[in-house]
Amino acid sequence: MDKCAVYPGTFDPITNGHLDIVERAAKLFSKIIVAVGENPEKTPLFSHNERFELVKEAVSALELPNITVGQFTGLLAQYAQDTDATAIIRGLRAVSDFEHEFQMALANRKLFPDAETVFLMPSEPFVYLNSSMVKVIARNDGNISQFVPPCVEKALLEKIGGIK
């Protein structure tokens, strides 16, 4: 039986920590959809389409046949239902992430009870890593090559060139 999971995020930008979760989730499910979402509560550096294109490029470099990239606006639960997902993948870096993620998981369960939320911890090198940190490092001329794939490093350095 095919099991599809959605791994949603703003991915502004996608990091090596996100890709670590994708690779590990790909071993658990027959299909993973990395879903680039619009979150009206966030003001992303990259546009929705730019984030979608960066995620597609970063994910394609993994060369995993069971991974696709999608995009959505609105409710994640509706997107999961529309894609016949049986699971929603969420990454947990630290205890501080848990309360927010737990609340979202409960809300998604109410809205779409056919999908389970599965929490994955990142591999140790990525436990502290998030997109905001990467942007701060890049804005301050730090080396971000160890935190993001090459396509993201290039796009981020081009984007922030005049924003410092």
Which one from 51, 56, 90, 131 is the annotated catalytic residue? 131
Which pLDDT tens digits describe the chain residue by residue (164 residues)?
689 999 999 999 999 999 999 999 999 999 999 999 998 888 999 999 999 999 999 999 999 999 999 999 999 999 999 999 999 999 998 777 788 899 999 999 999 999 999 999 999 988 888 999 999 999 999 999 999 999 999 999 999 975 54
pLDDT, residue 25, reads: 97
Measured distance CA(52)–CA(64) in Å, rounded: 18
Q: What distances in angstroms separate CA 146 from CA 35, 63, 76, 88, 125, one per listed residue?
A: 23, 20, 30, 27, 10
Instruction: Check if 48 is active-site.
Output: no
**Using alpha carbons only, how large is the chain's radius of gyration in Å?**
15
Domains of the chain by residue range: 4-127
Structure pTM?
0.94
pLDDT, residue 162, reads: 52
Instruction: Check if 3 is active-site.
Output: no
Cβ atoms of 7 and 51 closer than 8 Å: no
Measured distance CA(93)–CA(149) in Å, rounded: 19
Is residue 140 classed as helix, strand or coil in its secondary structure? Answer: coil
How many CB atoms within 10 Å of residue 83?
Answer: 17
Nearest alpha carbon to residue 104 among 92, 86, 122, 121: 92
Give the right CATH number for 4-127 from 3.40.50.620, 3.40.50.2020, 3.40.50.1470, 3.40.50.12780.
3.40.50.620
Which one from 24, 48, 93, 109 is the annotated catalytic residue? 93
Which one from 3, 42, 139, 154 is the annotated catalytic residue? 42
How many CB atoms within 10 Å of residue 138?
Answer: 24
Instruction: Check if 159 is active-site.
Output: no
Instruction: Check if 18 is active-site.
Output: yes
Measured distance CA(75)–CA(111) in Å, rounded: 9
Burial of 130 (0-12, 13-18, 19+ CB in 10 A): middle
